Amino acid sequence: MASPRLSVGLDIGGTKTLAVLLGDDGEVLAQSRLSTALGPVGVVDGAARAVQGVVRQAGVTLDAVTGVGVGVPGLVDAGAGTVRHAVNLGLDGAALDLSTLLSARLGGVGVGVENDLNVAAVGAAHLVEAEAGDRTPTDLAFLALGTGLAAGIVLDGRLRRGSHGAAGEIGHVPVDPAGPPCACGQRGCLELYASGSAVTALWPTATGRPAPVELFEAAAAGDPDALVARATYARAVAAAVRMLVLTVDVQHVVLGGGVSQLGQPLLDVVRDALVDESAASGFLRSLDLPGRVRLAPGRVAVGAVGAAVVGRGAVAHARDLAG
């Protein structure tokens, strides 16, 4: 009997590291959550511990793992397996050879490294395909509504990074040339209206809880200012969805990032905005934008699942080089 093809995925964030063990059929066999250790030594040590922990939890050994994938925030060179400028992880401009260092700690298993947004997109595509009950490669964008705004894009089941790694950087498409200055040097970028930070600007938190939670609570309670602010925000997210569909015609736009923790109430207002904007356009109506936007499936960590899918590819790559 062939031994099962297991892979481990890690999603290393600034405060926590999520780990999953993915089985032969792509099912999640175990998952865990640890505090992230910072700095070059901490990141490698913490990643090795997270892999060993989730493997032990599933009652298997490292020998059964054929590949490991790691999602990290920062500038990733996926081909080289390196990361730099991951400020949240205490990594500066010097490239950390995460792939080689982690592989050495794990008995030589192949390690793939990918940007955190990209692993989330790969994970969302994997889960959407599993939910649909078939493995037809999907077209999907994972729209991260966080501190910033960007999308990870999967086309025909393959991650699309772009020729300069800038695919999906729609947060810096200017939507109002007379708008406020953006950190990127332009004015009126979409990120200033549709990111999580934009919610905080629209509706500053009064109690210290996340601004999106307070805004949506106030709107649900009928506060007229909150209703206006919520509709303004929903239109901005709808603009991001429209931009993605009209550029790459993805079947699914998955809402992710911190704001997406609002869940169904967020999805409802974004769909409403898309319906409103399609009202005068038969062209837009024919594209069914409201039907394409959705939340991430299930309650598993999409980023860690995507990293585990990347980990499988790391094996294939290593074999390609060997063969």
Residue ranges that bind Zn ion, judged by CB under 5 A: 172, 182, 184, 186, 189
For Zn ion, the closer CB: 172 or 271:
172
- Which DSSP symbol is given to 63? G
With residue 60 as reference, give the H or E element that holds it: none
Task: Kindly report the length of the chain.
Answer: 323
For Zn ion, the closer CB: 173 or 213:
173
CB of 100 to Zn ion, least distance (A): 34
Q: Which of 14, 92, 103, 19 is nearest to 53 (CA)?
A: 19
SS3 state of residue 71: strand
- Beta-carbon-side half-sphere exposure of residue 237 (alpha carbons within 13 Å): 35
- Give the burial class of 25: count Cβ atoms within 10 A of its Cβ; 0-12 exposed, 13-18 middle, 19 or more buried: exposed
Q: Which of 260, 266, 271 is nearest to 219 (CA)?
A: 266
b/e sequence 230-250, b meaning 16+ C-beta within 10 Å: beebbbbbbbbbbbbbeebeb
For Zn ion, the closer CB: 184 or 246:
184
For Zn ion, the closer CB: 186 or 261:
186
Here the tokens at position 320 are 């390609």
CB of 165 to Zn ion, least distance (A): 16
CB of 243 to Zn ion, least distance (A): 14
CB of 306 to Zn ion, least distance (A): 26
For Zn ion, the closer CB: 192 or 254:
192
For Zn ion, the closer CB: 5 or 85:
85
CB of 72 to Zn ion, least distance (A): 23
CB of 146 to Zn ion, least distance (A): 15
CB of 169 to Zn ion, least distance (A): 9
SS3 state of residue 121: helix
Query: How far is the C-alpha of 97 from the C-alpha of 322, rounded, in Å?
Result: 20
- Neighbouring C-beta atoms of residue 10, cutoff 10 Å: 32
Residues contacting residue 9 through CB under 8 Å, at least 6 positions apart: 19, 20, 22, 68, 69, 70, 71, 119, 123, 303, 304, 305, 306, 307, 308, 309, 310, 311
For Zn ion, the closer CB: 172 or 252:
172
For Zn ion, the closer CB: 169 or 276:
169
Query: How far is the C-alpha of 44 from the C-alpha of 21, rounded, in Å?
Result: 18
CB of 172 to Zn ion, least distance (A): 4
